[in-house]
């Protein structure tokens, strides 16, 4: 049986938007991942706590992925108690799928903040990392991190499938200058957000009055 090749895309998804979907889908196609698991960070440890409940964010995530056969919603971090540390998620995957090639997908600004993550040096022993650019952000790799990860950087994406973990590859994606913060701010100011979301998510947000109070 052929070993699996799985992408892991973590986020607070407060709410999931077209920037997330475009980046995940572009990486899936470019690297030819079997699937990308969109992991909802239930209690994000490195930032302000989300506005919407875990349940509502997961409903939006599931709705957003309805027509995305290669992207699927992952509730793994919701089922664990306490802060949602990515290192614990990767350890869980590694235990369950020892021979699988795992690819953690991060936007450049998230990657540049990696040193504040719990056990960040261990991540590369558990998975590859694919770093995408993000429209509207500074897309240079931070120098200390680039130095630390120098031996892991590769320009050959085929290595990601050949090895189970340990490589870092930079992948450009179609620019979509959207952030969840901006969506929340626009809703508070009664500005349009429909173009930043899937239709299903927009409708669900309208029906439930998400972010309006």
Binding site for ligand ATP (CB under 6 A): 11-14, 19-20, 23, 106-107, 109-110, 132, 134-135, 176, 178-181
Q: Give the nearer residue to ligand ATP in terms of CB position, either 14 or 99.
A: 14
Rounded least distance, CB 36 to ligand ATP, Å: 12
Q: Which residue is nearest to ligand ATP (CB)?
A: 107
Helices 54-64, 199-208: axis angle to 10 degrees equals: 150
To the nearest whole angstrom, how small is the minimum distance from the Cβ of residue 184 to ligand ATP? 7
- Structure tokens of 98? 């020892």
* Distance in Å, CB of 119 to ligand ATP, minimum: 18
Q: Give me the least distance between CB of 22 and ligand ATP, in Å please.
A: 7
Q: Which is nearer to ligand ATP, 178 or 205 (CB)?
A: 178
Nearer to ligand ATP, 3 or 146 (CB): 146
For residue 99, the minimal CB distance to ligand ATP (Å) is: 26
Task: Output the six-digit token pair for 30.
Answer: 């470019």
Q: Which is nearer to ligand ATP, 90 or 178 (CB)?
A: 178
Neighbour tally for 76: CB within 10 Å: 17
Q: Please name the helix (run of DSSP H) or strand (run of DSSP E) that holds residue 177, with its range, or none.
A: none
Q: Which residues pair with 8 in a beta bridge?
A: 37, 104
Query: From CA 89, how far away is CA 180, in angstroms rounded?
Result: 23
**Would you say 27 or 160 has its CB closer to ligand ATP?**
27
Judge residue 67's burial from the number of C-beta atoms within 10 Å of its C-beta, 0-12 exposed, 13-18 middle, 19 or more buried: exposed
Which segments of 59-146 are extended strands (E)?
71-74, 101-107, 128-132
Pick between residue 3 and residue 78 the one whose CB is nearest to ligand ATP: 78
Nearest to 94 by CA among 1, 8, 169: 8
- Shortest CB 120 distance to ligand ATP, Å: 14
Please give the full DSSP string across 106-120, using - where no structure is assigned.
EEHHHHHTGGGSTTG
Tell me the residue length of the chain: 213
């Amino acid at each position: 049986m052929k070993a699996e090749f799985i992408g892991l895309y973590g986020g607070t998804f407060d709410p999931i938007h077209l920037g997330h979907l475009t980046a995940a889908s572009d990486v899936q196609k470019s690297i030819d991942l079997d699937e990308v698991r969109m992991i909802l960070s239930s209690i994000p440890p490195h930032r302000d706590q989300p506005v919407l409940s875990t349940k509502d964010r997961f409903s939006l995530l599931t709705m957003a992925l309805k027509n995305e056969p290669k992207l699927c919603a992952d509730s793994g971090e919701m089922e664990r108690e306490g802060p949602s540390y990515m290192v614990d998620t990767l350890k869980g995957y590694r235990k369950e799928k020892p021979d699988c090639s795992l690819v953690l997908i991060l936007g450049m600004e998230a990657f540049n903040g990696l040193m504040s993550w719990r056990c960040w040096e261990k991540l590369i022993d558990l998975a590859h990392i694919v770093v995408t650019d993000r429209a509207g952000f500074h897309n240079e790799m931070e120098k200390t991190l680039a130095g630390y990860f120098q031996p892991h950087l590769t320009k050959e994406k085929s290595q990601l499938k050949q090895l189970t973990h340990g490589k870092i590859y930079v992948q450009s994606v179609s620019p979509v200058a959207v952030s969840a913060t901006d969506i929340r701010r626009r809703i508070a100011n009664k500005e349009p957000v429909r173009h930043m979301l899937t239709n299903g998510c927009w409708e669900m947000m309208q029906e439930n009055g998400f972010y309006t109070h």
